[in-house]
Structure 1
Amino acid sequence: MDPIAPVHGTATLLVIAAVAVALLLFLIMKLRLHAFVSLVLVSLITAVVAGIPVADVPATLLFGFGGTLGAVALLVGFGVMLGRLLEVTGGAQVLADTLINRFGEKRAPFALGVAALIFGFPIFFDAGLVVFLPIILTVARRFGGSVLYYAIPAAGAFAAMHALVPPHPGPVAAGEAISADIGVVLLVGLPVAIVSWYVGVYLVSKVLGARFDIPLPDLLFGEVNGGTTPGTTYDDTTGTRGGATGTDAGTASGTVLTRTRTTPSFGTVFGLLLLPLALISFNTVLTTLVTTGAIPEGNVWVEYLQLAGNTPVALLITLLVAIAVLGTRGRSLAETSDILDAALAPICSIILITGAGGMFGFVLRTSGIGTALTESLENVGIPLLLAAFLIATALRVAQGSATVALTTTAGLIAGQADEAALTDFKLALVVVAIAAGATVLSHVNDSGFWLVSRFFGMDEKTTLKTWTVMETTLGVTAFAIASVLWVVT
């Protein structure tokens, strides 16, 4: 759906946006109304007040909700099922133990962040986060302390790669809009992302972890024996069937069954995590080759390979392989299905709230609020790099989506960038500045905000004080690096 022709002036639209966000925070944080109900209610009110035709309001709400849900539900569902299977079989513990043995206990958060930077190169933020979730929580459970020490470095790494580094869609689309060389954008964006992650995420996570003691959420962990190290065995004794109580699926109620199972090796677990990375990377490479004409369009085998590398399909394939490799170790397929079924129950609220957050952001975009905000900044006469950052920030705050902020800002400043006759290096810095602005101030109209909030068991106020702060320091650090490079080159 396209944005409507605004029926209010810029000032009125900006006031509507501010009041909508304030109302949402009041309902959730003060009245303690459920976040899902609050998001839907405020989205409805905002759509009517902002001037979306009343007859179009239901379609607008459902389009925004369905679009976000379609992108998130499959990823979260498959990812959490995979994570639960890794946790129950001891695979997550094996990988966590190996990471800690290699990097040391004190550098566990750093190890998680570095691993997430590597995995985040081809994988989108939400997909990477759900795949990595069991590893983050397993390390946090082992060493204790606030879960933020471990969650922020990994989640921030995925966020940095998603915002700043091709082949992710935001920087690619922004680069194409201003005629930047995507190869140069990659060469500039990657080191900027790494340095920004270390300064704006990893160092900040130490401060946030010390200030906010967030306990380990029970999203994945039940009372299941998970094993210890590769090759060891353990007794699995169960008195009830099914995963509803958190126990491993056994037999009928009242039956006690003792089994001996081996935990998977590090190579097996690492291979499972590499599988979606490989599939998605292969899809990215093939898509690039088709786009550039190196491979002709319409090649059936290429299309099948691209399908296998589509993110939800790649996660489905990985889950099926995990079921075959891990789920059948001393279990029947029915017992494994019980484990997977139990994994889905805790994420229903996450999926619905995330979809509603996408609905709210879509209403703001459709109503023209984001456009009104950027147009008010467009002709101020500020330098190009700063204008790119501020416009992207305004769009990010107004409508939530980082990708939309990236692509829209690039289109708005493309003419100015073309007139400036910039070098490829400086065009790449403009893309970095746009990406930096599109990263800061993630809040209640961003579906990623709700994903992080629910995954790590934080209320909205705490998420604003932690995740929003981290996203802002990440974006500001990236912009600061781009500004310094702009001046010295």
Structure 2
Amino acid sequence: MTRLSVEMLAADAAEPITSAGDAQLGVAVLAGIALIVVLITTVKLHAFLALTIGSLALGVLAGAPLDATIASFTGGLGSTVAGVGVLVALGAILGRLLADSGGADRIVDTILARASGRAMPWAMVLIASVIGLPLFFEVGIVLLIPVVLMVARRGNHSLMRIGVPALAGLSVMHGLIPPHPGPLAAIDALGADLGVTLALGLVVAIPTVIVAGPLFSRYAARWVDVPVPRDLAPQPDADDAPEKRPGFGVTVATIMLPVALMMVKALVDIVVDDPKDGVQRVTDVVGSPLIALLAAVVVGLFTLGRAAGFTKERISTTVERSLAPIAGVLLIVGAGGGFKTTLIDIGVGRVILDLSEDWAVPGLLLGWLIAVAIRLATGSATVATISAAGLVAPLAADMSTTHAALLVLAIGAGSLFFSHVNDAGFWLVKEYFGMSVGQTVKTWSVMETLISVVGIVCVLLLSLVL
């Protein structure tokens, strides 16, 4: 739960770095976001530079000292790259190994042979949901992207028709289903039952992912038609084809290795729940995202690289070639994390929490609204979940076991609402799929909003019958 700990520390940081009033903070946030959008869309400035300038402008307009603003931005950039950047790098290496060895071709051939054109989006959402169950969102993306891009290219499918269902499956799992850090934190804060929350979460997740995934992808494909990015869709060299391709079973097993390691960690955390227990300490290390993905890469060197007849020099070249295309992605995602941390440090989240105390609305809807507001302001789904759960925790004391679990799900749904330029995930999706800011809003941001809205509707309907 390394990322959860980092997010909680950010959310519960000391006093804001500015003493500005609520109105000034509101103007600063709107101006900072508007500046970033204008710099990228009108001035055509690189997103990394736009996010950097926008973060500094945000701090200055909020009345924060420039040195404190710089410290917030660089701290957020560093923690994001440390958490997400290393995973993206490891995922890129694994993706290149899959492509160069012919393993990705083997998977794609199998999928295309067994799923027709109409069934492909449903197959992708199913695969993404299964893989995303124990994984952080970013880990799921770096594991799935090579397969998604190659399925779209080889099957001549619209990238949005294939990519949106996969993203929806990952996002729904991340926001609603334990053992993801957000839902687990909310369960702990509200004293909800994990088993009941998991069961109801699956009930809510199924219609939600259907609407936001395969169904919405039809419209997303009409609104945005982009070619499959070549730089981030690794292809083996035609004149340097492998001697043989690894088998389907061993290729899938290599991809699923980090999934299995994280699943074991999650199950041990639930069953044992003793940080001092030797078994749990081992699984906490082995099942961490960094170690799990690193293990997959190391195993892949043999099950993919050596199985394809690669020499040591060829494997080294493959690893080296995998890292160059992701340099820009890492910088943009890191800058997005810096902007998010600057928002948190100037006290935007705390302002929303203070204002929400006066909202006279039903408990489930209140939890959703607070999570939505914090998500929009800070860009972090985990911070939104933790903060909203802490605020509405007293309401859960008078709720039944079922309704306490529904409150967890309501907060989780709210934490996914309309991802935009202050969310590092927004930039991760934009760069991986080669879209503009406007195209990312039309697809990814709308998809996240659909997940949030359909999720809360399902929760409210369940509350009427349970």
Q: TM-score, normalised by structure 2?
A: 0.93
Structure 2 residue 434 is matched with structure 1 residue 435: no
2:258 matched to which residue of 1? 276
Residue 400 of structure 1: aligned partner:
379
Deviation of 1:7 after TM superposition, in Å, equals 1.1
1:261: Cα distance to partner? 1.3
Amino acid paired to 1:273: I
Letter in 1 for 2:413: A
SS at match of 2:243: strand
User: Which runs of structure 1 show a deviation greater than 6 angstroms over 4 or more consecutive aligned residues?
Assistant: none
Secondary structure of the residue that 1:381 maps to in structure 2? coil
Aligned partners of 2:80 and 2:272: how far apart in 1? 27
The yes-or-no answer on 1:368 pairing with 2:350 is: no
1:436–1:474 CA contact under 8 A, matched in 2 = yes
SS of the residue corresponding to residue 239 of structure 2 reads strand
1:16-95 matches, cutoff 5 A: 16-95=28-107
Whether contact under 8 Å (1:436, 1:479) holds in the other structure is yes
- Separation of aligned partners in 1, 2:333 and 2:21: 30
Matched residue, 2:4: none
Percent of residue pairs bearing the same amino acid type? 37
C-alpha contact (below 8 Å) 1:108/1:139 kept by paired residues: no
Contact 1:14 1:372 in 2 (8 A): no
1:18 is displaced (CA, Å) by 1.1
Deviations 1:276-328 (A, max 9, x none): 1111111222233442x4xx7152x5423331211111111111111112112
For 1:408, the aligned partner's letter is S
The corresponding residue for 1:200 is: 212
Deviations along 1:353-405, one digit per CA (max 9) or x if unpaired, are 00100110111011111221232232121111111111110000000000000
Equivalent residue, structure 2, for 1:384: 363
Separation in 2, partners of 1:180, 1:331: 52
**2: CA distance, partners of 1:347 / 1:223:** 15
* Rg larger in structure: 1
- Work out whether 1:325 is the aligned partner of 2:303: yes
* Number of the residue aligned with 1:264: 246
Contact 1:282 1:309 in 2 (8 A): yes
Q: Return the structure number with greater helix share.
A: 2
Q: Distance in 1 between matches of 2:283 and 2:220?
A: 42
Count how many residue pairs are aligned between Structure 1 and Structure 2. 453
- Alpha carbons 1:220, 1:343 under 8 Å: kept: no
* Deviation for aligned residue 1:14: 1.4
Matches of 1:145 and 1:111, distance apart in 2: 13
From the superposition, tell whether residues 434 and 222 of structure 1 become closer, same or farther in structure 2 (CA, over 3 Å). closer
Distance 2:97 2:62 in 1: 46
Q: 1:474 aligns with which of 451, 454, 457?
A: 451
2:440 to 456, 463, 468: 463
Aligned AA (2:358): N
* Aligned equivalents of 2:239, 2:343: Cα separation in 1: 53
Cα pair 2:125 2:213 within 8 Å, conserved = no
Which residue identity does 2:464 align to in structure 1? V
Shift of 1:99: 2.2
For 1:223 and 1:207, how far apart are their aligned partners in 2?
29
What 5-or-longer segments of structure 2 have no aligned partner?
1-9
Matches within 5 A, 1:214-229: 214-221=226-233, 224-225=236-237
Residue equivalent to 1:337: 316
Give the Cα–Cα distance (whole angstroms) in 1 for the partners of residues 268 and 410 of structure 2. 28
Root-mean-square deviation (CA, aligned residues, Å) is: 1.7
Q: CA deviation at 1:120?
A: 0.8
1:458 match: secondary structure: coil
Measured against aligned partners, the alpha-carbon deviations of 1:412-465 in whole angstroms (never above 9, x if no partner) come to 1112332xx111111111111111111011000000000000001011111011
SS in 2 for 1:33: coil
Contact 1:219 1:455 in 2 (8 A): no
Q: State the AA in 1 paired with 2:339.
A: F
Change (3 A) 1:384 1:339: same
Instruction: Give the gaps of 5 or more residues in structure 1.
Output: 226-235, 239-247, 249-259
Contact 1:216 1:456 in 2 (8 A): yes
Q: 1:313 aligns with which of 291, 294, 297?
A: 291
Quick one: which amino acid aligns to residue 336 of structure 2? G
Look up the match of 1:4: 15
Please report how far the alpha carbon of residue 346 of structure 1 lies from its aligned counterpart in structure 2 after TM superposition: 0.8
Structure 1 pair 16–80 and aligned structure 2 pair: CA distance change class (3 A)? same
Conserved? CA contact 1:123–1:280, under 8 Å: yes
TM-score of the aligned structures, taking structure 1 as reference length: 0.89
The letter for the 1-side match of 2:61 is V
Relative to structure 2, which stretch is displaced further, 397-406 or 100-109? 100-109
- 2:428 is aligned to 451
- Separation in 1, partners of 2:353, 2:448: 21
2:239 is matched with which residue? Answer: 237
* Secondary structure in 1 matching 2:119: helix
1:101 Cα deviation from its structure 2 partner: 2.6
